[in-house]
């Protein structure tokens, strides 16, 4: 009788392990992404000739960041060189996402890296990453 109880316990344990391994495949490729996405910080901003709607962005080190940018006029670029993050915002009115995780604290510039007119060099801001 004791052997039957051990066998049943072992079968339940194997079944739980098999279900845990199969669950992500059954839920599809985004199953883990949903859990990770809930921890992301999402910043929405617009850009137009020579002005980002947010000149300063403050975030915490190690927290995944998604910056959603929409151009209001012409194609622009967005780059945070210190984190090797960049995107081209080529379609006015369309949201472009830039995803990265700031892994060091400090103050870092972000800028437009696609020429957009005479004052293109003034199109910049600061990313402040706190510890």
Digit-coded pLDDT (tens) for 10-55: 666 665 555 555 555 544 444 333 344 458 999 999 999 889 999 9
Q: Contact, 54 vs 42, CB < 8 A? A: no
Q: Read off the pLDDT of each residue in 52-73 and give the average, rounded to a whole number.
A: 96
pLDDT at 33: 39
pLDDT at 103: 96
CATH code assigned to 39-130:
2.60.40.420
pTM of the predicted protein model: 0.68
Ramachandran region, residue 106 (left: φ > 0; alpha: ψ -120 to 50; beta: rest)? left
Cα–Cα distances in Å, from 73 out to 16, 20, 67, 118? 55, 49, 18, 15
């Amino acid at each position: 009788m004791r052997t039957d109880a051990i066998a049943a316990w072992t079968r339940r344990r194997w079944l739980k392990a098999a279900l845990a391994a199969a669950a992500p495949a059954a839920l599809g490729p985004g199953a883990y992404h949903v859990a990770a996405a809930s921890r992301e910080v999402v910043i929405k901003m617009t850009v137009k000739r020579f002005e980002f709607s947010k000149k300063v962005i403050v975030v915490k080190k190690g927290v995944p960041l998604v910056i959603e940018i929409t151009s209001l006029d012409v194609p622009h670029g967005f780059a945070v060189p210190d984190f090797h993050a960049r995107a081209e915002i080529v379609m006015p009115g369309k949201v472009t996402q830039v995803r990265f995780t700031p892994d060091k604290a400090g103050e870092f510039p972000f800028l437009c890296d696609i020429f957009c007119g005479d004052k293109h060099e003034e199109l910049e801001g600061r990313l402040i990453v706190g510890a």
